[in-house]
């Protein structure tokens, strides 16, 4: 959960798709789910390449 990650000071935070399936969506089609997963990981890779000085959230579609 983003607020918890922020509270504890995680340096690079990517909001994901929810507690019970952070990298998925049981309601979506397998294709849509795969796309969701790709999007989140792409943001994670962007975050890894970003210089940050404090806890930073990388929101969707950045």
Partner 1 sequence: MRLELHHHQVSGISFGEATGLGAGMLTINREELSALLLADERLAAVSFDLAAPGEDCRIIQVWDVVEARYRGDGANFPGILGPIEAVGRGVTHTLKGMGVVITNPSSRGPEAKVIDMAGLGAEWGLYGRLHHLVVQPQPAPGLPAPELLYALRKAQVAAAVYLARAAAAARADEVEVFDLPPLGSRPDADSGLPRVAYVFQIHSHQRPTEDAEPVLYGNNVRNFLPTILHPNEVLDGALVRSYYRKGFETYTVQNHPIIREMYARHGKELEFAGVVATVAHQTEPERLQSAAMAANLVAEVLGANGAVLTKTGGGAPHIDMAQIAELLEARGVATVMMAMDMSVDGSAEGGSLFSFPGADAIVNYGFSPSPLALPPAARIIGGAPETLVYGRPASGAIEVDLEVLAGAENPIGANRVMAAHY
Partner 2 sequence: MAGPLRIVHYLNQFFGQLGGEEAAGAAPQARDGAIGPGLAIVKLLEQRRCESGELAAEVVGTVICGDNYFIETPTAGDEVFALIAPYRPRLLIAGPAFNAGRYGIACAAVCKMIGDKLGIPAVTGMHEENPGVDMYRRDVVIVRSGASARAMLPTMERMLTVALKLVRGEALAPARLEGTFAQGRVRNELAAETGARRAVAMLLAKLRGETPTTELELPRFEKVRPAPAIVDLTTATIALVTDGGLVPLGNPDGIESISATKFGVYDIGGAERLEASRYESVHRGYDVRYVNADPQRLLPVDVLRELERDKRIGRLHPRFYSTTGVATTLRNSRALGAAMAERLRSEGVQAVILTST
Q: State the residues that interact with partner 1 by CB under 8 A.
A: 1-4, 7, 15, 17-20
Q: Least distance from C-beta 3 to partner 1, angstroms?
A: 5
The DSSP-derived string for 1-62 is: -HHHHHHHT-SEE---S-SS-TT--TTS-HHHHHHHHHHHHHHHHHHHTS--SS-EE--TT-
61 binds, among partner 2, partner 1, none (CB under 5 to 8 A by kind): none
Residue closer to partner 1, measured from CB, 9 or 30: 9
Q: Would you call 41 helix, strand, or coil by DSSP?
A: helix
- What, of partner 2, partner 1, none, does residue 62 touch, CB below 5 to 8 Å by kind? none
């Amino acid at each position: 959960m983003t607020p918890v990650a922020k509270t504890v000071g995680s340096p690079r935070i990517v909001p994901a798709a929810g507690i019970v399936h952070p990298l998925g969506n049981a309601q979506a089609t397998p294709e849509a789910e795969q796309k969701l997963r790709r999007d989140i990981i792409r943001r994670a890779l962007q975050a890894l390449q970003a210089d940050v000085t404090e806890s930073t959230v990388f929101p969707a579609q950045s």
